[in-house]
Amino acid sequence: MTSSTRSTLPDPVDLTRTLVRINTLPPGGLESRCIEPLADLLSAAGYQCRVVDMAPGRGTLVARIGGRPDRAPMAFTGHVDVVPLGSAGWTQDPWGADIVDGRLYGRGSSDMKSGVAAFTVAALACADMARDGAGITLIITAGEETGCDGAFHLARQPEARQWVGQAGALVVAEPTANAPLRGHKGAFWLKALAQGKTAHGSMPHLGDNAIYKLARAALALEKHDFDTPPHPEMGSPSLTVSTIQGGININSVPDAAEMTVDIRTVAGMPHAQVLRCLCATAGGEVRLEPLLDLEAVYTGPQDPWMQRVQALTLDTSARHPALPIEPARAAVASYFTDAAALRPLLGMPPTVILGPGEPSQAHQTDEYCVVDRIPQAQQLFEALVADWHAA
């Protein structure tokens, strides 16, 4: 890219502020208000853009440029929906995108509009390179915070594999303070239902108590053995019975009851197999129904591309002595991401979670992003693209 071309790029901090000022809080906030200006920027740079709406005004953007038969493009993904503000009062305007003492405040500043802005500007900077090379694919989603709804909706579209295409590597720009993470646990949420027969509370022998059935299943699940060794970086899977309800009134035998179960899986645990084992543990008195099915995401440290990501991160950190990129305390994220929904669509590419937001600020009151992390992320993303195209 020439210096004159670079001078016409949007500033990633300014673009972050623009996105943060757009209220994309469900149900009133519509993600397309963020998607449309991003699509305009990318289209002007030569990207082919397609918006897939999962509801009116709730669009997911796919933008592609370049590509060659012998090497799949690099892909970036991020979401533009945000979570509620919480009950505590904010000292900063959550939609103001104000900068105070080197921090950019606002809902979504870290999670994760700064990441979307950084990779969008990087994609614009690398458009000429990508047009004649391996290419770049951007997937900017709606509805991630409610269970990757936009990403799953995209993946279900007829012929999506043809017009989205495969990816050789995937960057998920969730908040990591620009330190690369190699994946995250899976999230498998289930509803357990028990049916019984109602009767008067004074004659329980005439009924069939659904709560007792559910209680027996809950106690069995508490002792469930996943029979899998701890993952070297993700640790062990977990299971929590998180809600339970049943019955209508105190003097009747309950004829229906349900509970929810939160399972966090590690890499190498297919959820279909997990479900079969849990059904056997819970027993025939209850029925298990999936509510959320997000497999674990993991790329090992021995992967050649992951090693290149680490090397380029160290190089970027060295060029920013005033703001070094500190190694992450854990190799994997505690949260789940759209990668779980998108990787099968993209051909299961190696994946890194890497973005400028502060991990500790996700979903927090007075959420902020460190301003200087945003151009740092842009430079790192450009380095990743250049390295991918040089191979």
Active site residues: 81, 145
Kindly give the pairing relationship between strand 74-79 and strand 169-172.
Answer: parallel
Residues 6+ apart with CB under 8 A from 183: 233, 234, 267, 296, 297, 298, 299, 332, 333, 339, 351, 353
- Contact present, 109 and 90 (Cβ < 8 Å): no
Residue type, 187: A
- Contact present, 358 and 110 (Cβ < 8 Å): yes
Distance of CA 378 to the CA centre of its chain: 19
Within 13 A of 375's CA, how many CA atoms are on the CB side?
A: 11
- Contact present, 144 and 317 (Cβ < 8 Å): no
> Can you say whether the dihedral through the CA atoms of 350, 352, 353, 354 is positive or negative?
negative
- Contact present, 324 and 317 (Cβ < 8 Å): yes
How far CA 87 is from CA of 25, 364, 366, in Å, comes to 15, 11, 12
φ, ψ dihedrals at 373, nearest 5°:
-70, -25
Q: How far apart are CA 128 and CA 120, in angstroms?
A: 14
As given in the structure block, the two tokens for residue 31 are 């993600």
As given in the structure block, the two tokens for residue 367 are 């959420």
227 C-beta neighbours (distance < 10 Å), count: 6
Q: How far apart are CA 322 and CA 372, in angstroms?
A: 10
